[in-house]
Structure 1
Amino acid sequence: MVDTTEAPTQAPVAEELRLRGSMGVGELVMSVLAFASPLTTVAGTMPVLLMFSGKTTPGIYIIMTVMLLIFSVGFVKMSRSIENPGGFYSFVTTGLGKPAGLGGAFLAFFGYLFIGFFAVPFFAVTLQGFVANTLHGPVVPWYWYALAIIAVTTFLAYCRIDLSAKVLTVAMVLEVVSVVVFDVASFSTSAGHTAQGIGFSMPWLTDAGLGLALLFAIGNFLGFEATVIFRDEVKDPDRTIPRATYLAVGGIGVFYVVAAWAYVAFLGADQAQEAARTNTVGLFNSSAGQLLGTVLTDVFSVLLITSVLATMLSVQNIAARYSFSLATDGALPKVLGRVHQHHRSPYISALTIGVLWVVATIVFTVLGVGPEALYPIASGSGTFSVLLLMFIVSLAVLVYFLRRRRTKPEPLWNTVVAPAISMVFLGAVTYLAIMNYSELIGGSTLMTVIFMAFTFALFIGGVLYALYLRKNRPETYAKLGREKV
């Protein structure tokens, strides 16, 4: 009797812990591109880079693309060697041990949580301005738009990942087409004005503002590393994840290089930096208006709004899967590790993130903190967390393959040289982030100290929590890093 009653209840529990999906290379790449938010980058961040670097901006994107492709070499090799779901959480655990792995997981979860929350006030003020100024509609308080977008993305994140992938694919195709139209118009207009100079230059180490430019540029690429977090939800992960990773990094890089070059071509190589300084916020709209007219500029404004929505959805999906992995291992409450029976999604984790964003929006509204003050802090602090994590991951990959080479010699480039180069590069950019943290979050000295201390406390807290689990809950400690026990 015992055997017959236990058998039906045991199997569904084991099955329930697995996420499911059928994303292919294209859908996975689009999910990554949504995180990078190409139109938001071209319209919002790229003018900031032009302000720092002028005609060397395309060259900075070339350098960043090459370096992140080198990072991807070790990253892809690791993804084929470590089949555990969990993304960077699993990578750091395997390379540097369970305490560091849990610290890295906390950095990932809170980093993506903050990056996602950046999109909430940014979306709100963008849509608020569009409705009031372009459509001449009523002035609705920003927090209503914020709560509405949270509801939409939480519903989509609650459902099967394939639905999110389809929504993101449509949004990304429209975004890419819009920027390509801008690029073509810019180069076409500039072709007869070669006196302005439509070329660009590579940056030098002595260039003023190079450090900040590299720091802002790497933030435009974040998201490609999340390909591994969807391991259980893609078809043939050993082929899909590597292809999607290289396509994402290379595609984002080429896209940004051409868009930055289009800016330089239209504004003029020698005038681009001054134009960006004079009109940083409105540079894209004013340039698009001159090139394409007001109608297409209004269309671009709508696509910018959907771009922010796509970014937020992509981030929510990623953060929910880190929460799910930690809950599955017992490091967070087990309820966060539940899988929806129909959608096969981490629906409780997705709902929890939506609730956290709602609470944060309400709290900041009650405190009277405006959206303009919120999104640089959320974006900057989240970007720094993920950047620090990428440096730790590059170290973990190098250590793992150096250790494995003792018994299993493998190609030197994939396992030692490329990981070492990426570790040095990401270490240098992390140092720049620490030195320029106040500019990164756009905050005061006090805010800089608070948020930087919080970021390092996340990693240290994860290490200490893992040591506590090792002593008091060894069965939970054994599962950390999504390892099978």
Structure 2
Amino acid sequence: MTTESSELPVGGGVQVAKLGERASRLSGNMGVGELVMSVLAFSAPLTTVAGFIPVLLTFSGRTAPAIYLVVTVLLVLFSVGFTTMGRRVRNPGGFYSFVTAGLGRPAGLGGAFLATFGYTAIGFFAPAFFAVTIQSYVVDNLGGPEIAWYWYALALIAVTTALAYRRIDLSAKVLTVVMVLEVIAVIVFDIAAFFNGGPADGGGAGFSLPWITDASIGLAVLFVVGNFLGFEATVIYRDEVKNPDKTIPLATYIAVGSIGVFYAIAAWAYVAYFGADKARDAAVEDTAGMFSSAMVNLTGKIVVDVVSILLMTSILASVLSIHNVAARYLFSLGTDRVLPSFLSKVHPRHGSPSVSASLIGGMWAVLVVSFTIVGVGPEKLYPIASGSGTFAVLLLMLGTSIAVVVYLRKNREEGDSVWKTTIAPVLAAIGLAGVTALAVINYSELIGDTGMITTLFLIFTFGLPMAGAVLAYILRARKPDVYERIGRQQL
């Protein structure tokens, strides 16, 4: 293969690439705002506020807002080392590249396997959840026919696959529009809740700091951390953004900070409306209908109908964001030739990972059909998919935080700040280790199942990085050229 090099414009800048590898470069023109919205969409703001925060309140009550702020501090600490390393490891492989650079190729490939499974699993929860949501709305609100859930799920997968197949700028525009509408809906709820709060004898709008001895603190923290997953996308889209060295760090801090503050205020709005002393009981009594009942009382049924539609578009935006991230992991593994090289095919017009995006959509569709045939309903699917995927990505984040510490200590540069290269990354690693321990302890609650299912998923998840490491050693012995590419090391 030729080793001649040529300058190739990537992400608004110029990077050096081998002529034979032009086809493995993605392209796009996202700015800070679009990148932040792509990250925010991952957590589905309206879905989180309407569906996940009421569940959080059943665990934490009046401490829910503060838990969001505590986790925000932890992930800002993580972002310090994350962005510092991102300026030095300029590969678009996300955590895959970072773990490889810090801990070596075997660990990096194990991390890539974790990420691919994690994001694919998290994304698969959405079609089932979407199906249940829209099915209920069509039957109960519109008086329409009761269409089987899998048709709605397959329709969602078809839409997100079509968008993920095309240029990332189109997905970014769709996500931006949907996110703006969702944010407006949540802000309306927040303002109305604070202005029409519950009576003072219910505890008012005060909230408390959480403590390690609080009941269910582990589950509460896990739920909150899950709302932040996806900010890795800022580095995954490196080839598809304008001026990545400035855009990515800025977008990362904005995304992490805004997610934390946005959800903390929304959780506080619940506390203000129901009363700090009564919020937990209200959540336990009507977890699924807590948001809707509050919105009806605060704004009227017409607004609730609009919000119900936005809730469905929120799920669509979330699965599209996850679809794009999962596809780019397959693309990276195909580019490195760890997986079949056809996964690295770039669409000649859209500059997108069209084959990988299609494969992710195809896998989800096959899974929907398969579970339908064996009689597994959507209510069973989405907690297992979401919980197992979240744990896999959390485990990967812990590995990445350790890799950041190791890499920045080994590759110190003149003028490096001790805060950026040591203190913040070490604190983040310690914090994420604690969260991971909580996840293991509470794993059965995280996936909504117990017994053999819990054991099998734990074994499978911890087995993934081990399988990746074993494969890396096999590649080192049998295909050293492929081994050298692991972690997007050869661009």
What is aligned with 1:351? 358
Query: Is 1:410 matched up with 2:421?
Result: no
For residue 228 of structure 1, the aligned residue among 223, 235, 260 is: 235
Quote the Cα distance in structure 2 between the aligned partners of 1:11 and 1:78: 24
Would you say the 8 A contact 2:198–2:204 is kept in 1? no
Tell me how far apart the structure 1 counterparts of residues 195 and 50 of structure 2 sit (CA, whole Å): 20
Distance 1:396 1:436 in 2: 26
Match of 2:136, as an amino acid? G
Q: Give the letter aligned to residue 448 of structure 2.
A: G
Q: Deviations over 1:119-164 (max 9, x none)?
A: 0100011011111111110000000001100000000000000000
Instruction: Return the alpha-carbon distance in structure 2 between the equivalents of residues 192 and 295 of structure 1.
Output: 26
Answer yes or no: is the 8 Å Cα contact 2:384–2:447 preserved in 1. yes
Deviation at 1:366, TM superposition (A): 0.1
State the Cα RMSD in Å: 1.6
Quick one: distance in 1 between partners of 2:224 and 2:167?
A: 32
User: What does 1:22-421 correspond to in 2, within 5 Å?
Assistant: 22-190=29-197, 193=200, 196-405=203-412, 408=414, 410-421=416-427
Distance between the aligned counterparts of 2:199 and 2:117, measured in 1? 49
Distance 2:279 2:403 in 1: 40
Partner AA of 1:464 in structure 2: V
Taking the aligned partners of 1:106 and 1:204, their CA distance within structure 2 comes to: 35
Partner of 1:301, secondary structure, is helix
**What amino acid does structure 1 have at the position aligned with 2:141?**
T
Which whole-Å deviations, capped at 9, do the CAs of 1:290-325 have from their partners, x for residues lacking one?
A: 111111111111101000000000000000001001
Deviation per CA, 1:240-290: give whole Å up to 9, x if none: 000100000000111011100000000001000110111111111111111
Q: Percent identity of the aligned residues? A: 59
Q: Is the 8 A contact 2:118 2:393 kept in 1?
A: yes
Task: Give the structure 1 partner of residue 456 of structure 2.
Answer: 450
* Secondary structure, aligned partner of 1:224: coil
After TM superposition, the runs of 4+ consecutive aligned structure 1 residues lying more than 6 A away are none
Amino acid at match of 1:420: V
Shift of 1:409: 6.0
Taking structure 1 as the reference length, what is the TM-score of the superposition? 0.96
Q: Counterparts of 1:89 and 1:261 in 2: how far apart (Å)?
A: 36
On the 8 A contact 2:199/2:275 being kept in 1, the answer is no
* Pairing of 1:459-478 with structure 2 (within 5 A): 459-478=465-484
Aligned to 1:437: 443
| Alpha-carbon distance in structure 1 between the residues aligned to 2:352 and 2:437 | 37
TM-aligned CA deviation for residue 468 of structure 1: 0.4
Letter in 2 for 1:450: L
Q: Are the structure 2 counterparts of residues 141 and 357 from structure 1 closer, same or farther at C-alpha, using a change threshold of 3 Å?
A: same
Distance 1:124 1:462 in 2: 34
Q: Distance in 1 between matches of 2:439 and 2:202?
A: 37
Q: Secondary structure at the match of 1:22?
A: coil
User: Post-superposition shift, 1:196?
Assistant: 3.9
Unmatched 5+ stretches in structure 1: none
Q: Following the alignment from structure 1 to structure 2, what is the Cα–Cα distance between the partners of residues 11 and 400? A: 26
User: Would the aligned equivalents of 2:202 and 2:274 in 1 still touch at CA under 8 Å?
Assistant: no
C-alpha displacement of 1:48 = 1.0
Gaps of 5+ in 2: 7-16
| 8 Å contact kept, 2:198–2:274 | no
Higher relative helix content: 1
